[in-house]
Structure 1
Amino acid sequence: MKTIAIGIGKNKNIKQAIDIFTDEHNVNIKLIQTDSELVEAILDDEIDAVVRGSLAASGVIKEVKKHFPDISRATYVNGDDHEFLLTPVGIDEGTTVEEKLKIAINCGEFLKKLKKEPKIAILADGRKGDYGRSERISKSIDESEELTRLIKEKTDFNVENYYILIEQALKEDCNVIIAPDGIIGNIIFRTLILVDSWPSCGAITFGINGIYIDTSRDQSVEGYLRSLKFAYSLAKL
């Protein structure tokens, strides 16, 4: 029997999701009450998967980085019309080309484990023709082109620079969306998932020994249930 640890915070939706999940699956659920217990669960080899749930958990990633310094996250969006990894989503993540390259490689390798072929879209702060409109925009375009070049050089993944045209990337069924930085990625996540109710399984964490699914404190019952099912499916792999 698999064991999944999940954080219990102030959002009561998580408890409803747990009730539904345990009715459908033969699984052991361990309830986590604090950030420190959540970190302990992530580091515990006896626990098959950990879901953040509705804990605030502001210090969890910082603490886990002491044990695994190269972690990164990508939100798994899985609707009927779109299925993709969105990254970076942490507001302090994806600040350099090197970091985004590592994230892109992690996403591509993860999809391959799921028997899916990576199709990566790189985003920037503007169109290619917007170069020169501001120092920030030019820097972002330069970095997007450098990142695209490096991914092509170091992997066999299908990758294209869509600049600011995220709608085109989604229309062409890209399954990895690399935002210009974690702040923009977080805003995209909140717009799609929390405002427009696109379905998400939460964010998979790369670079650790176990399985940790990071979730929003503001998710619906259905959102938390998807995260539990996602964690369980990964644990069975």
Structure 2
Amino acid sequence: MKTIAIGVGENENIIQACHIFKEKHPKTDIKLIYKDEDLVKSVLDDNIAAVVRGSLPASNIIQELKEYYPNLSRATYVNGEKYEFLLSPVGIDEGKNVDERFDIALNCVDFLKKFGKDPKIAILAEGRDDDFGRGSEVSNSIADSKKLTKLIEENTDENVKNYFILIEKAIQDKSNIIIAPNGRVGNIIFRTLVLLNSWPSYGAITFGIDRIYIDTSRDQSIEGYVRSLTLADDLSK
């Protein structure tokens, strides 16, 4: 029998989600994990098919995993208005520069292609193109978004467009990879869409690792955790 491990913290939605998942997937065993270090051990355990963070705190787990896999990054898998997309970076300390976001974009491209999907990349910035000059942070973000767009255009054959701050246009155009200006902005977008506006999310795919690890919010709903368990189960196949 296949085993999926999931972290149990203060959010008891995890327990109810496990019961619901088990009813639909009786041949998959669920292992409940209550400590950060035990969840990391589960990720490294060859006898465990996949791991879901659940409601355990992320920082210690990611920090420990980076000792084994230093190039970790995450992309949240969101089911939007009748279409799906990857949103990244979403970790507040991820995607700090153009090179990191370039690597993240390539990881997202590879992931979608494995499922036979055609990547459509949207690059975001912290202002419109004509907002350049309205403060150093805004100007640097706009300049970096242009650099990243050009880097992707010159090094890949993928469909990419710089939407600057206009995330609504990127979603209307059904971009299936959305690259935020940095992890802090990406995290806010995730919380706005998923936790506040109830867009379904399957959790975050973790790149740079040869294991299946689905990162999740500590504040996710029962349905959200069921989706994450389902994604982990599907990927393990």
TM range, smaller chain: over 0.9
* Whole-angstrom distance in 2 between the partners of 1:155 and 1:64: 30
Structure 1: which amino acid aligns with 2:15?
Answer: K
Cα offsets for 1:86-117 (capped at 9, x unmatched):
00000111110000000000000000001111
SS of structure 2 residue aligned to 1:65: helix
Whether the aligned pair in 2 keeps the contact of 1:2 and 1:235 (CA below 8 Å) is: no
Question: Amino acid of the residue matched to residue 143 of structure 1?
Answer: D
Q: Distance in 1 between matches of 2:226 and 2:81?
A: 17
Q: CA deviation at 1:58?
A: 2.5
Q: Which residue of 2 aligns with 1:14?
A: 14
TM-score by length of 1: 0.97
Q: Deviations over 1:26-53 (max 9, x none)?
A: 2011111100001111111221110001
In the alignment, the residues of structure 1 paired with residue 59 and residue 149 of structure 2 have an alpha-carbon distance, to the nearest angstrom, of 32
2:118 paired residue number: 117
Instruction: For 2:29 and 2:158, locate their aligned partners in 1 and report how far apart those are by CA, in whole Å.
Output: 37
In structure 1, C-alpha distance between the alignment counterparts of 2:206 and 2:158, rounded to whole Å: 20
What SS does the aligned partner of 2:228 have? helix
Structure 2: which amino acid aligns with 1:85?
L
CA distance in 1, matches of 2:69, 2:20: 33
Q: Does 1:85 align with 2:75?
A: no
Q: Please list, as runs of the form range in 1=range in 2, the aligned pairs for 1:1-237 lying within 5 A after superposition.
A: 1-25=1-25, 26-236=27-237
* Structure 2, unpaired ranges of 5+: none
Per-residue CA deviations over 1:47-97 (Å, capped at 9, x if unaligned) read 111000111243000110011111100000014523100000001111100
Q: Is the 8 A contact 1:76 1:201 kept in 2?
A: yes
CA RMSD in angstroms comes to: 0.9
Distance 1:171-1:75 versus aligned 2 partners, 3 A rule: same
Distance in 2 between residues matched to 1:47 and 1:137, nearest whole Å: 44
Distance in 2, matches of 1:207 and 1:157, equals 21
Q: Does the CA-based 8 Å contact 1:4-1:47 persist in structure 2?
A: yes
Asked whether the equivalents of residues 70 and 207 of structure 1 are also in contact (C-alpha less than 8 Å), the reply is yes
Matching residue's letter, 1:133: R
Provide the C-alpha distance between the structure 2 equivalents of 1:198 and 1:58, rounded to a whole number of angstroms.
Answer: 24
Q: How many residues align?
A: 236
Secondary structure of 1:85's match?
A: strand
In 1, the alpha carbon distance for the partners of 2:234 and 2:213 equals 12
Q: What SS is found at the alignment partner of 2:169?
A: helix
SS of the aligned residue for 1:58 comes to: helix
Whether the 8 Å contact between 1:162 and 1:168 is mirrored in structure 2 is: yes
SS of residue in 2 equivalent to 1:28: strand
C-alpha separation between the residues in 2 aligned to 1:204 and 1:187? 17
Give SS of 1:159's match: strand
Q: TM-score, normalised by structure 2?
A: 0.97
- The answer (yes or no) to whether the contact 1:82–1:170 under 8 Å persists in 2 is no
Q: Percent identity?
A: 62
The residue matched to 1:201 in structure 2 has which SS?
Answer: strand
User: For residues 146 and 88 of structure 1, do their structure 2 counterparts lie closer, same or farther at Cα, with a shift above 3 Å needed?
Assistant: same
The amino acid across from 1:94 in the alignment is: G
Secondary structure of the corresponding residue to residue 116 of structure 2: coil
